[in-house]
Amino acid sequence: MRDVAIVASAQRQERAIPSESEVEFMVPLMQQVKDATGLTQRDIGFTCSGSSDFIAGQAFSFVMTIDGVGPVPAISESHVEMDGAWALYEAWVKLQIGEIDTALIYGYSKSSGGSLRDVLATQMDPYYVAPLWPDAFAIEALAARQMVENRRVSMDQLAEIASRSRRHGADNPHAVRTRQKSAADIMAEAPVASPLRPSDLPASADGGCVVLLAAEDTARSLSDRPAWIRGIDHRTDSHTLGVRDLTRSMSAELAAQKAGVANDKVDFAELHAPFTTSEFVLADALGLGEDTVINPSGGALAAHTMMASGLIRLAEAAARITAGDGDRAVAHAASGPVLQQNLVCVMEGE
């Protein structure tokens, strides 16, 4: 295995970015990462992105954003219709092969142009489920109901998660939900899709994230303290919700095992948990204990940019490692309804 690290990142998240197109708001982020490392597009071995046509409302929408990279002369490039974290995984594999030493990864979306709750219904089974237009919040609420009825988690615990995410988000300049609210106040909120309350739901945002991966000595030359990827794995559960135990996540558990989460202490974890219930399930699946700070950025409950939120978790964890806030971190990305797919990454400083 080659040592590969995150050496730089940039992000932008806002409630809505109405005046700029996706490529217009991504170019400055790409430039920020290139400036931080002194690299130009010619120096970068591979470029990989994650985005969704269904969110953009445009076919082959990712090709517009490639112009933002400056693909002249022609670049080695790939795209996933997934969160940018999966683009990072593809780049990591490519770096393992050993033909390149650097990769530029980005994920983005501008979901404010449509109804994300409706768009997410289209990821369900197209014959049996999607024609019923199940609301994304309602689907998660089915899992939440089971968790609460089975006494896996209490409404108070979920309110605590929501309150803590707002508290952490207050220190994050990219957070869009930063108004402080006590757990007691959240308990008093009227449910949106019972038992889920507004504070249990993702804080939807427009924006994106750009990450630079580098291998071995190249990474050391580009960063004083690279965030080394010590383990990374992704797993998926069945698309058929009925065959899964929605109160647990087998895929997250297995990905965490393969990535080696339990091999040492975890200083902090950035979990891509769109709902308070998802955070509860993930902390359990990853076996995170009391000594791990969960979502110091506030997580997706403070700012949730579809297709970038997972990559942002990796970027946030790496930035804290690089800053010396901790030595070992876990970053997680999710995709699909009720945590169907999960990617777990363990990062360490040197």
Partner 1 sequence: MGEFQHDPSVPPSAIKPVTMPAAVANVEQVQSVRTPIAIDYEVTPGEGLSRYLRGLKEKRILADVCPDTGQVVFPPRGVAPMAGKRPTRMVEVGHSGYIDSFNVTRIPIKTRPDLDPPYVSAWVVPDGANVGSIALVAGIEPEKVRVGMRVRAVWKPDDELEESATNILHWEPTGEPDVDIADLRRMGREGSTL
Residue 61, exposed/middle/buried by CB under 10 A (0-12, 13-18, 19+)? Answer: buried
d(CA 211, CA 48): 10
Q: Are residues 120 and 274 in contact, defined by beta-carbon separation less than 8 angstroms?
A: no
Return the residue of 7, 8, 33, 68 that touches partner 1, per CB under 8 A: 68
d(CA 61, CA 54): 9
Buried b (16+ CB within 10 A) or exposed e, 228-255: bbbbbbbbebeeebeebebbbbbbbbbb
Query: CB 282 → partner 1: shortest distance, Å?
Result: 29
Return the residue of 3, 36, 71, 135 that touches partner 1, per CB under 8 A: 71
Query: CB 140 → partner 1: shortest distance, Å?
Result: 20
Note whether 30 binds partner 1 by CB under 8 A.
yes
- Closest to 253 (Cα-Cα) out of 344, 338, 329: 344
Q: Give φ, ψ of 55 to 5 degrees.
A: -80, -40
For partner 1, the binding residues in 119-148 under the rule CB under 8 A are 119, 122, 126-127, 130-131
Note whether 70 binds partner 1 by CB under 8 A.
yes
Q: Give φ, ψ of 337 to 5 degrees.
A: -70, 140
Nearer to partner 1, 30 or 283 (CB): 30
Note whether 118 binds partner 1 by CB under 8 A.
yes
Return the residue of 35, 43, 58, 180 that touches partner 1, per CB under 8 A: 58
Using the contact rule CB under 8 A, the part of the chain among 21-29, 197-205, 211-219, 283-291 near partner 1 is 21-29
Note whether 38 binds partner 1 by CB under 8 A.
no
Query: CB 58 → partner 1: shortest distance, Å?
Result: 7
Return the residue of 2, 24, 171, 262 that touches partner 1, per CB under 8 A: 24
Which helix (H) or strand (E) segment holds residue 333: the answer is: strand 328-335
Query: CB 54 → partner 1: shortest distance, Å?
Result: 8
Using the contact rule CB under 8 A, the part of the chain among 15-23, 178-186, 275-283, 307-315 near partner 1 is 15-23
Nearer to partner 1, 70 or 191 (CB): 70
Query: CB 131 → partner 1: shortest distance, Å?
Result: 4
DSSP string, 14-76: ES---SS-HHHHHHHHHHHHHHHHT--GGG-SEEEEE--HHHHTSTTTHHHHHHHH---S---
Note whether 115 binds partner 1 by CB under 8 A.
yes
Q: Are residues 279 and 161 in contact, defined by beta-carbon separation less than 8 angstroms?
A: yes
Residues forming contacts to partner 1 in the complex (CB under 8 A) are 18-24, 27-28, 30-31, 41, 54, 57-58, 64, 67-73, 113-115, 118-119, 122, 126-127, 130-131
